[in-house]
Amino acid sequence: MIGLEGKVFAVTGAGNGLGREYALLLAREGARVVVNDLGGSRDGSGAGHSAADAVVEEITAAGGEAVANYDTVATEAGGAAIVQTALDTWGRIDGLVANAGILRDTSFHKMTTAQWQAVVDVHLGGTYHVIRAAWPHLREQGYGRIVVATSTSGLIGNFGQANYGAAKNGMVGLINTLAIEGRKFNIQVNAVAPLAATRMTEDVVPPDMFAAMPAEFVAPVVAQLLNEHCPDTGTVLVAGGGRVYRLQLFENEGVRFDGIPSVEDVAANWDRITGMKDAVPAANPAVTVVK
C-alpha cells in the first residue's frame, strides 16, 4: 500500500544525486515523473539537457513513465513551466519534490550580495515558484503531496553557508504555513534534510562520512512522505546513512511577569527563561482561522 502508482510528480534538480534517486524510485513504484534539471554546474552556472535526458531514458528503459524539463526554478516562469509540463503530458499533477539547489559557499564576511541572492533565488525562491504554480491544481482536485529539501545547515547551522542555511530554514517556515493552509484540501507538505553523498557534499563532509551516505538511503523517506497513505504534514525529517529521525522545535514553561519587567527582572529569571528542562513541542501562540 505505498500509494504512488499512477500519481504525477515533478522532481526538481532530478538530473543528479538525490533528485535522480527520488525520480527513479517514484517511477519504479508506478508514478509518472517530470524530471526537471537545468543542467548547470554545482554553483548554478551553465545549462544543458543531458542530465535530465539521461534520467528519463533510464526510467523509460525500465518500463516507467517520465518526461524531461530543463527550466530554471529561480523564476516564476520557470516554476510555471515545470508544472505545465506535467499538465501537458498527463493532464494533472499530484505533487512535487522541491529539490533543486546550488552552492556559493563562503564565510559571511566575504560573502557578496550576488552570492547571497543566487542561492536564495534557487532554494527558497525556487521552492516558492514551483509550489505556487502547482498549488491551485492541488486545491482544486482536493489532493496533493509536497516534499521540500531543507538542510541541517539551516536547521542547526554550518560555517560558510549563511546564504544556503538561511534559504533552507526559510523553506521550513514555508511548509509550516502551507501545512496549515493545505490541510482542508488534503494537501500535505513536509520537509526532508538529506545527509547524502552527492556532488553538493563531496568537499563538505569528511571522506569516511561521504562513503557511508549513499543517496539511495534518502529516497524511500521522500517516497513515504509523497504517498497517499502517509498521515504527516508539517513534519521535518533528517535522513541519511541509514538513520531517519524527526527534528522539531520545543519550548519550555518560561516565566510570566506581572507587568512590564525590568532588565534586572529578566536577568534574575534567565535560567528559567532559557532552560529546557521539561520542554514540550512548540505550539503556535496565535490562533489563526484559515478561510
Say if CB 135 and CB 185 are below 8 A apart.
Answer: no
Q: How many whole angstroms separate alpha carbon 249 and alpha carbon 83? A: 32
Say if CB 100 and CB 13 are below 8 A apart.
Answer: yes
For β-strands 8-11 and 95-98, DSSP reports them as: parallel
**Number of Cβ atoms within 10 Å of the Cβ of 111:** 17
- As a residue count, the chain comes to 291
Give the orientation angle of helix 17-28 with respect to helix 219-226, to 10 degrees.
50
For 260, the 3-state DSSP assignment is coil
Residue at 2: amino acid letter: I
What sign results for the dihedral spanned by CA atoms 207, 211, 216, 218?
negative
For 256, the 3-state DSSP assignment is coil
Q: How many whole angstroms separate alpha carbon 223 and alpha carbon 105? A: 30
Residue at 18: amino acid letter: L
For β-strands 250-251 and 280-281, DSSP reports them as: antiparallel
Q: How many whole angstroms separate alpha carbon 192 and alpha carbon 148? A: 6
164 is catalytic: yes
Q: How far is CA 203 from CA 3, 105, 198, 206, 210, in A?
A: 37, 11, 10, 8, 9
Give me the catalytic one of 128, 143, 164, 245. Answer: 164
Report the catalytic residues: 164
